[in-house]
Each structure stands twice: as C-alpha cells, then as structure tokens.
Amino acid sequence: MVFPIDREEEIHSRLISLIQDQIRKVVETVKSLSLLIESSVNMQNEKIIEEKYMNVIKNEEEAKNVKRQIEEEITKVGAILPNREDFLRLSDQIDKMADLSEGTAFRVLSFIKAQLKADKDILEKINELSNLVLKVVTKLREALLVVTLDAETFNARIKETEKAEKDVDEFYRNLSVTILQRNLKIAPMLLIREIASMLEDISDEAESAANTLRALSLILL
C-alpha cells in the first residue's frame, strides 16, 4: 500500500511539527542546564542550584512526552510510511540530547553537593562550553523550523549548525588538555572531565541529527 501524495504530505507535516516541538523542549532543557552550570560557577546557594536542576528534569520530561507522541503517530501509519526510519532516527537523536543534558545536570549537582573544588577558570570554561553547546542545539532548531520552506535557507542553517559544532569540538579539545595539565585532585578532575565530555556529546548528537535532517529534507523540500 502507498499513501496518496496529499496524505503522505499531511503525515510528513504532522511529524515535522511534532519534531519541531520536541527540539523546542530540548533547547529549553539545554538552556536550563546552562543556567544550572552558571549558578554553580557563581557559587549560588545550594537551594537555588537544586531548583535549577529540577528545571532541567522538568524540561527533559516534557521533551520525552513529545517523543512519545511522535512514536504514537508513526505507529498509527505503520511501516508503510516512506522514510519512517529517518523520522524515528531524528527523534531518537534529539531525545539523546535531552538524556545527556539530564545526566550532565546530575553530575553538576553531585559536584556541588560533594563540595568538590576546582580552579575558577576551569569552571568558567565549563560554563562557556555549555553556552557553545546551547548555540549548536539552537542552530539545529532553526534548521528544523525552515526545513519545509526553501532549500537555500535550510542549507544555510545546516551549515551554521555544523560550524557551531566544530567550535564546540575545538573548545572541548583545548579544555581537556587544560584540565589534565592542572594539579587537581582525582575526584573533581574525573567529574569535571565527564561533565565536559557529556556536553560535547550533546553537540555531537546535534550534528548527527543535522545529518539525518539533511537526508529527510530531500522529501520535504
């Protein structure tokens, strides 16, 4: 069975609309993570930091709810929908960004609760890295918002996403070397390296999602 063209376009439109809502929620999740890291670097009191952590959890759960809607929508139309796997893959990649954000937030909170110490400039660089990652995810959202408009605008947004991701890669590599060169105690060093690594993983997932979106654009534009 093959869907009529107008019916297939209607399904594509519905799925893209849901995925746009999903990435909006994920941008909010990454933004709340960035605010959590900023509060931690500025040594705000633990209650404020815990509130910001709960904001990450709230936004991550809202993103999960949209992902469930996407899965339900795809289940309704079944395996006969062309590019079904691409839509699922894109939603999964966006979902991984939310998962990684929650995991990173937990480690930031653990760092604060354990009263671990690290050089101020290292913590500030973690904060800067989180802002760069937020830029990548925001650029991906912008690409998703124009994927059905025109190829030139869409391709420009994808290139901006890729450029932002490369900036994260370069910053992360330099930060990793800096962390290793400092005389930090084992516990804070390991936790800071993991936080930085997970932030970079969010950016990597955004790049993977951009690649999947580029493939989907061939049927959407």
* Contact indicator for 136, 168 with CB cutoff of 8 Å: yes
How far is 40 from 33, CA to CA, in rounded Å?
A: 11
**What letter does residue 117 receive in the DSSP assignment?**
-
Spatial distance between the Cα atoms of 178 and 174, rounded to a whole number of angstroms = 6
For residue 49, what are the CA distances in angstroms to 31, 97, 101? 14, 21, 15
Question: Is the predicted pLDDT of residue 7 greater than 90, yes or no?
Answer: no
Count the neighbouring beta carbons within 10 Å of the beta carbon of residue 97: 29
Which residue, among 198, 179, 174, has the nearest Cα to 189 in the 3D structure? 179
Return the CA Rg of the chain.
Answer: 19
* CATH code of 89's domain: 1.20.58.220
pLDDT in tens, 133-158: 999 999 999 999 999 998 999 999 99
pLDDT of residue 11: 86
Q: Reply yes or no on whether the pLDDT at 81 is more than 80.
A: no
Q: How confident is the model at residue 79 (pLDDT cuts 50, 70, 90)?
A: low
* Burial (CB count within 10 angstroms: exposed 0-12, middle 13-18, buried 19+), residue 175: buried
- Each residue's pLDDT tens digit, 150-194: 899 999 999 999 999 999 999 999 999 999 999 899 999 999 999
Question: Do residues 109 and 81 make contact, with C-beta atoms less than 8 angstroms apart?
Answer: no
Number of structural domains the chain divides into = 1
Q: Please state, in angstroms and rounded to a whole number, the distance separating the CA atoms of residues 217 and 151.
A: 8
The boundaries of the domain holding residue 197 are 5-220
Separation CA 174–CA 189 (nearest Å): 15
CB contact at 8 A, 168 and 202: no
